[in-house]
Chains A and B, each alone.
Chain A
Amino acid sequence: EDQVTQSPEALRLQEGESSSLNCSYTVSGLRGLFWYRQDPGKGPEFLFTLYSAGEEKEKERLKATLTKKESFLHITAPKPEDSATYLCAAQRSDSNYQLIWGAGTKLIIKP
């Protein structure tokens, strides 16, 4: 069965303390791996798509990487405004390209 698991569920960091969020996936026929950011009371905001193992993408303090079994979202020297829930989703290459979503990691950056 297709499944996406994110860890940890929640992560509290001090401002400037770098860390990584994990997204493990079991999907038959992966087309792409998506990362989204969701602020309270808002819809998910698209960040990155990764398509092949070894691929990396960066945006400000965020860098996403992909292997054959998992993806990491590295956050370097985070600021309080990076606090949000980060969601990952695996896109199947069949079944109408639907996204299989993880439950998210709630990231809290303390000043």
Chain B
Amino acid sequence: DIQMTQSPSSLSASVGDRVTITCRASHTISTYLNWYQQKPGKAPKLLIYAASSLQSGVPSRFSGSGSGPDFTLTITSLQPEDFATYYCQQTYTIPYTFGQGAKVEIK
């Protein structure tokens, strides 16, 4: 199975900050990498697919980059509604695996 490792596991940031979350795959996955946002008690929401494509309706302050084993999710100018947990997911091969999550908290 492909292991997905996110870092950091949690971070504290302020409104307006630039936030970067990384995700590393244990094997090459090309750009078969998606990012999801999850708020407490809610279902995950797709943000980015294919490493860098912004899902329709997602604010442009969210962006993704990377290929092969290393990927990045960037939030420019963090907004109050962005405090949540973020997960990466590989769909290169089944079993589709998720990272352990990165919780973005208010500083």
Task: Judge: A and B partners, yes or no.
Answer: no
Interfacial residues, chain A to chain B (CB-CB below 8 A) = none
